[in-house]
Structure 1
């Protein structure tokens, strides 16, 4: 396959699927319409592009999965706002979104204590020791973006919830209450599909690709602080990092 073929999205044999041509035309239309605009009716678009409505729907479906379009039942399909692009760093979700001009918040779903079990190795504790589990929906401007499950050693952070508003920054709370600084982390990123429960909490389709990020954070002395599993909506958020050699 040539570089030009890769760049243009055209397969080596040169035959472009009809829906892909329509998708390209729709992308140009979205740029003209602008953020928040209502997409014209399917029958009108299918007629304008000279394709079957099933072909048009496939193109619209891909653009919706990519986060370029937003479907609202009973109202229609609208041009979506650009994805939030968050830096991969040790700064908190709260601080990162505020710097981008958005209003961050969280909704507490679960607070419980559990035996560490398989988490023990990551947290440098015994399997029988307890961990504090916090599950929170991450929001930006009241829109669900992610679902975060955080596990902390209960022996170290057992009174974490006392007098703390769980809608706020955990990083700041840990620093203020325990004088513990997040200094290093190991993170793994992969794509997955959400479970029905996760999709419901995030107000998205179970078929929507998600970004799964699993992190183990440690303090300035290298002692583990937390193990975090974060599930992000692939249609609403992306990540950026700076690499140097």
Structure 2
């Protein structure tokens, strides 16, 4: 490719990425002004390159400055819980309870849980943490008639799947869809990020061994802090 046709932002991003490779996690990133002077470009060009590196998870905001970020948390796409996935990667999981209520199922929730619209369901909304950093927002709906006993002693800052298994219910399968979205202002506030930051949105419907619905989950993850990985194998001929 003719170098003169490569976007200037791409060239600057590549140069900054090389600088980051020589820095350690938590080290400060040179300022926009310093980088613009070093590369002989406008500060807006540097600003755009830094925005792309922020989304890529290479850097993060800290106070009024920018520092080198640790690698993204790569979650496996599996029936395992967020807690299990984070621990397997050497990260410390955590949750902050936002909402825990019994509410009437809307048409979409009722259809996923095979209930009549208006039937009461249990709704838990929690901020997901990794090493104390807010990385996701999880909203779970459970059939109340199956899991009302969770009210008796479940700690919502711990794994919900472990609590479900403790009731004698085993997850046997799930359907999951992933798409990219932007966070609503409330969601961005809970995740301590900008509404302009791309998010990964997961919709999951899980069932037990009899095919009966267990949960309907909407999980929103920060695109700069989380990636997903799936293991694939050939289908039988």
- TM norm. shorter chain > 0.5: yes
2:16 counterpart (1, 10, 26): 26
- Aligned partner of residue 78 in structure 1, secondary structure: strand
Instruction: Name the Cα RMSD after superposition.
Output: 1.4
What is the aligned partner in structure 1 of residue 121 from structure 2?
A: 131
For 1:128 and 1:51, the matched residues in 2 are separated by 59
Gap runs ≥5 in structure 1: none
What is the aligned partner in structure 1 of residue 149 from structure 2?
A: 159
For 1:144 and 1:42, the matched residues in 2 are separated by 26
- Aligned partner of residue 200 in structure 2, secondary structure: strand
1:69 counterpart (34, 59, 63): 59
Question: How far 1:148 moved relative to its partner?
Answer: 0.4
For 1:62 and 1:95, the matched residues in 2 are separated by 30
What is the aligned partner in structure 1 of residue 171 from structure 2?
A: 182
TM-score by length of 2: 0.94
TM-score by length of 1: 0.91
For 2:23 and 2:82, the matched residues in 1 are separated by 32
Give the aligned length: 233
Gap runs ≥5 in structure 2: none
Matched, 1:171 2:161: yes
Matched, 1:114 2:119: no
Question: How far 1:35 moved relative to its partner?
Answer: 1.9
Matched, 1:15 2:5: yes
For 2:193 and 2:77, the matched residues in 1 are separated by 23
- Aligned partner of residue 151 in structure 2, secondary structure: coil
For 2:132 and 2:98, the matched residues in 1 are separated by 15
Deviations 1:193-239 (A, max 9, x none): 00000001011111000000000000111110000000000100101
Question: How far 1:50 moved relative to its partner?
Answer: 1.1
Question: How far 1:57 moved relative to its partner?
Answer: 1.3
What is the aligned partner in structure 2 of residue 149 from structure 1?
A: 139
For 2:37 and 2:17, the matched residues in 1 are separated by 17
For 1:41 and 1:103, the matched residues in 2 are separated by 31
